[in-house]
Amino acid sequence: MKKSTWINIGFQVGALVLALLITTLLLLAAGAPPFKAYESILSGAFGSSNDLASILISWSPLLLTTAGVLITFSAGLWNIGVEGQMVLGSIFATWMLRLLQDTNLPPALIIILGIVFGMIGGALWAALAGALKTFGGVNEIFGGLGLNFVATALTIYLVFGPWKRPGVGSMSGTQPFDQKLWLPTLSNTGLSLWALGASILVVIIIYFLLRGTYFGLRLKAVGKNIKAAFLLGIPTWQYSMFAFLLCGAFVGLAGAIQVTAVYHRLLPNISNGYGFLGLLVAMLINYQAIWVLPIAFFFAALNVGGIQLQIVYKMDSSFANVLQDLLVLFVLLGQGVRERFLRKA
């Protein structure tokens, strides 16, 4: 292997060690025995086949959000709005299911329409951020952030307002759909192979799209140098918009899956942070689509294992997120340091 490859690996390992070190210090400060805590995360994640199913349930939306942000990242866009786009996917899917649940249409068709509608919802919300950026000059970070809040507010309004359960609205969401409108799942696990298969398929599509197509190459050119891309004859703003639309559709699919396969209703916190987590995974893998599957799996496992911390040590389950965040932070820091290091060398 080349020397630079070794240096790269060195920096990644260093980042992991540092992240673990700081997490350990935090665990000590919080009064939890660190090694036992790590052990409980591990056993929480891989202790039983049920745990594995939980990881896979968590993996699927994370794959989709990561795949989505890879597209917008390639186009040089910081699509912070993924979270809201996923929420809109859930809202639109719920909307369609509510509209059709009392009709005589075959349930499979209703589910499919719900999912497609969810993808449209995500794409529209992303297009809004894109239009604000392209035509209104609003930076997509601010536009996306603002739209995230709007999406959350909209969910809460729907859950407590027009779509509230019979009687009184509650944080536990809307009235669950009839079981015939549930995406089929493996027995006793809640894991939908359809959702999982679709998510993996999307990652594979993104991988080839970004790697071997004119579309992907042009998107990269737009992302890396929009002026030069324009002079090379690429319709730049159209490509930016298309990146938003595509990302929104995939992220909307994640939202629709949460409704049709996992919760079977609309919840105030339906997106569960998967949008932001997808951004983190994309940053951690330095936007290389080939690493999406394993790294997203690792993050999903940390999410699931983190729940154990809460059960065993009465700690907040988001402690696993601290480890995730620190990891990304140190990897990014490592990249910066490495660049300076290589420039000097």
Instruction: Give residues in contact with another protein (CB under 8 A).
Output: 212-215, 217-218, 220-221, 224-225, 227-235
Sign for the pseudo-dihedral over CA of 59, 65, 67, 69: negative
- Cβ 200 to another protein shortest distance, Å: 21
3-state secondary structure of 83: helix
Residues 230 and 236 sit within 8 Å (Cβ to Cβ): yes
HSE-up of 343 (CA within 13 Å, CB side)?
Answer: 6
- Cβ 212 to another protein shortest distance, Å: 5
- Cβ 339 to another protein shortest distance, Å: 14
Q: CA separation (Å) from 321 to 14, 58, 272, 316, 318?
A: 19, 14, 12, 10, 5
**CB-nearer residue toward another protein: 98 or 218:** 218
CA pair distance 305, 317, nearest whole angstrom: 9
**CB-nearer residue toward another protein: 191 or 246:** 246
**CB-nearer residue toward another protein: 235 or 294:** 235
**CB-nearer residue toward another protein: 214 or 314:** 214
**CB-nearer residue toward another protein: 96 or 229:** 229
- Cβ 216 to another protein shortest distance, Å: 8
**Radius of gyration of the chain from its Cα atoms, rounded to whole angstroms:** 21
CA pair distance 71, 320, nearest whole angstrom: 27
- Cβ 286 to another protein shortest distance, Å: 13
